[in-house]
Structure 1
Amino acid sequence: MAEIGKFNELTIVDAVDHGLYLDGGELGNILLPQRYVTMDMLVGGTVEVFIYCDSEDRLVATTETPKGQVGEFAYLEVIGVKPNVGAFLDWGLSKDLLLPYREQGNFSIKTGDGLVVAIYLDEHTNRIVASTRLHRHISPEPPEYEANDPVDVLIYGDSPLGYKAIVDKKHRGLLYHSETNDKLEEGDRFTGYVKKVRSGGKIDLRRDPAGYKRVEPLAEQILTQLETAGGRLPFNDKSSPESIRETFDCSKKAFKQAIGALYKQRRITITEQGIETVAANETK
């Protein structure tokens, strides 16, 4: 049976002027409107589509990709607010996603805001809606990760200890301030690394992989960029975390470890102006 709010591979059962009808099992036939139909979609074949309700609450299929499916978390922009009804979010489809007033918690929401929300199916109405009450939608399944496993990280808040995160769109995590020099904001998304899974299921995160596994390839990357730039780059341990992240795609902490390793190997020198290859330094 087709699942509402998710991608499904469905069989095409009929072709009509206004589109194709797809076999939705117990949900009945579901229309894929003509604007999404391509020449290779034939009766008897299959097509991957996303199922949701249109503005008249009828099930409809689309080949568009939303910014999040039911059971996931996403950072979405508020594009309209209707008092006592809720906020409307841009999730990449022609029909906006409703964040009901009752699901806004203590947030004071206005047009233009960005929010991390849980996307879920309202069992009473079969409508796909959003919620800022994230804790209610965390997966009950215990996370199964090993230390240093790469994971998808979505930042949704800050605390005295670190940045609160959604891990792989379903678990809770915390990136300690001591694990990153970057200033992060709600909606920032990146590949992080598991430091530890606690007994309650919460995940301690790293911004970068642990140990020399990360230092060695990063050091080689920095050396390559140095050589491409003629042997000199205006970066050292006084450079801002933002400029380091933009140039080398790593934290300032990882950058310092990498250039420290290169310095110990006598492959670079570190000056007030930046870093230089030994060869470049010798030609001064």
Structure 2
Amino acid sequence: MIELGNYNTLKVLRSTSIGLFLGDDEGTEILLPNKYVPSDFEIDQEMDVFCYLDNAERPISTTLKPKIVRNGFAYLKVVEVGAYGAFLDWGLEKHLLVPFREQSHRMEEGQSYVVHCYMDEESMRLTGSSRVDKFLSNESVAYDQNDQVDLLINRKTPLGWEVIVDNRHKGLVFDSDIYRPLEIGDQVKGYVKSVRDDKKIDISLQPIGAKMLEPTAKFIFDKLVKNNGFLPLHDKSSPEEIQHTLHMSKKAFKKGVGILYRQRKIDIQDDGIHLLGD
């Protein structure tokens, strides 16, 4: 079955004057227009294509890479506001419609928003929504501490940054755990700090506990290499100086420096940290 709004692996069935017809194992066919046909195709070869409805509401495939897929989330820009809603650039020729009823706040042309893409059951069209909370659920959360997750930064709250976790759940990075600049729409890696009894997920941008030591030390080492073997930081540097320079806490900094010092990779002097040669 060809799934609209997603990538499909399909077989090249035949070549025509308007493009290739691709098909699945169930006998369903879809057109890949000439402008997307690779020069080296062969009949019966498999191709990965994205399938959706074109401007005439016909199923069509493309080799273009959309910025969002069905049941996914992304940070997209409004290119036009029309009579039925806002049209967002999602990387394809036909823009993604976010109807007014699916806008948490009235969208404005030129602005970008975190949105969800879903199949509207009434119109059977791929549709966008900035009411992202209704597409997230924390009812079935199965994470252990330090599990690595994919994050999409959603919005700022009084406690920190609300994030979308693995395209399914809602999480929070507390202000006290943020040591680098974040903006809405950023896609970053994170680590599960804890899953509370009420299923709320606390997220850290750095590994927790012992797992934090090695990557932190490597990060400091890489910074030293990039800065010609010197960083003007030491034990007496303020937390603000360390956060500004390395985007990490002073506690993490001291642990990382300790590892590098014990491995005799650095020397700590009054003016800062110096990288030692081999």
TM-score normalised by the chain length of structure 2: 0.86
**1:47-196 equivalence runs, <5 A:** 47-82=47-82, 84-105=83-104, 107-139=105-137, 142-196=140-194
Q: 1:215 to 1:126 in 2, by over 3 A?
A: same
The amino acid of 1:17's aligned partner reads S
> How far apart are 1:160 and its partner, in Å?
2.0
Q: 1:210 aligns with which of 188, 208, 211?
A: 208
Q: 1:11 to 1:230 in 2, by over 3 A?
A: closer
* Conserved 8 A contact 1:73-1:170: no
Could you list the per-position Cα deviations for residues 194-226 of structure 1 after superposition, in whole angstroms to 9, with x for gaps in the alignment?
112234443211110012322234224424543
Could you list the per-position Cα deviations for residues 93-142 of structure 1 after superposition, in whole angstroms to 9, with x for gaps in the alignment?
1111111111112x132122111111111111121111011122125772
**Distance in 1 (alpha carbons) for counterparts of 2:227 and 2:159:** 39
**Distance in 1 (alpha carbons) for counterparts of 2:44 and 2:259:** 61
TM-score normalised by the chain length of structure 1: 0.84
Q: Which residue of 1 aligns with 2:41?
A: 41
The amino acid of 1:5's aligned partner reads G
Number of aligned residue pairs:
272
Q: 1:14 to 1:228 in 2, by over 3 A?
A: closer
> How far apart are 1:39 and its partner, in Å?
3.3
Q: Which residue of 2 aligns with 1:241?
A: 243
> How far apart are 1:262 and its partner, in Å?
4.9
Q: 1:137 to 1:182 in 2, by over 3 A?
A: same
Q: Which residue of 2 aligns with 1:14?
A: 14
SS in structure 2 of the partner of residue 71 of structure 1 = coil
1:23 and 2:23 aligned: yes
SS in structure 1 of the partner of residue 182 of structure 2 = coil
**Distance in 2 (alpha carbons) for counterparts of 1:27 and 1:113:** 42
SS in structure 1 of the partner of residue 3 of structure 2 = coil
SS in structure 2 of the partner of residue 3 of structure 1 = coil
**Distance in 2 (alpha carbons) for counterparts of 1:252 and 1:56:** 58
The amino acid of 2:192's aligned partner reads V
| Greater Cα offset, 43-52 or 179-188 | 179-188
Q: Which residue of 1 aligns with 2:267?
A: 268
SS in structure 2 of the partner of residue 239 of structure 1 = helix
**Distance in 2 (alpha carbons) for counterparts of 1:109 and 1:133:** 12
Unaligned runs of 5+ in 2: none
Q: 1:154 to 1:253 in 2, by over 3 A?
A: farther
* Conserved 8 A contact 1:12-1:20: yes
The amino acid of 2:144's aligned partner reads E
Q: Which residue of 2 aligns with 1:282?
A: none
* Conserved 8 A contact 2:115-2:132: yes
Q: CA RMSD in A?
A: 2.8
**Distance in 2 (alpha carbons) for counterparts of 1:139 and 1:41:** 42
| Greater Cα offset, 182-191 or 86-95 | 182-191
**Distance in 1 (alpha carbons) for counterparts of 2:11 and 2:138:** 32
SS in structure 1 of the partner of residue 42 of structure 2 = coil
**Distance in 2 (alpha carbons) for counterparts of 1:175 and 1:140:** 16
Unaligned runs of 5+ in 1: 280-284
Q: 1:30 to 1:265 in 2, by over 3 A?
A: closer
> How far apart are 1:264 and its partner, in Å?
8.1
The amino acid of 1:187's aligned partner reads G
Could you list the per-position Cα deviations for residues 53-90 of structure 1 after superposition, in whole angstroms to 9, with x for gaps in the alignment?
111111100011111110111111111112x4111111
**Distance in 2 (alpha carbons) for counterparts of 1:252 and 1:116:** 33
Q: 1:200 to 1:87 in 2, by over 3 A?
A: same
**Distance in 2 (alpha carbons) for counterparts of 1:23 and 1:181:** 49
**Distance in 2 (alpha carbons) for counterparts of 1:12 and 1:129:** 29
Identity of aligned residues (%): 41
1:259 and 2:257 aligned: yes
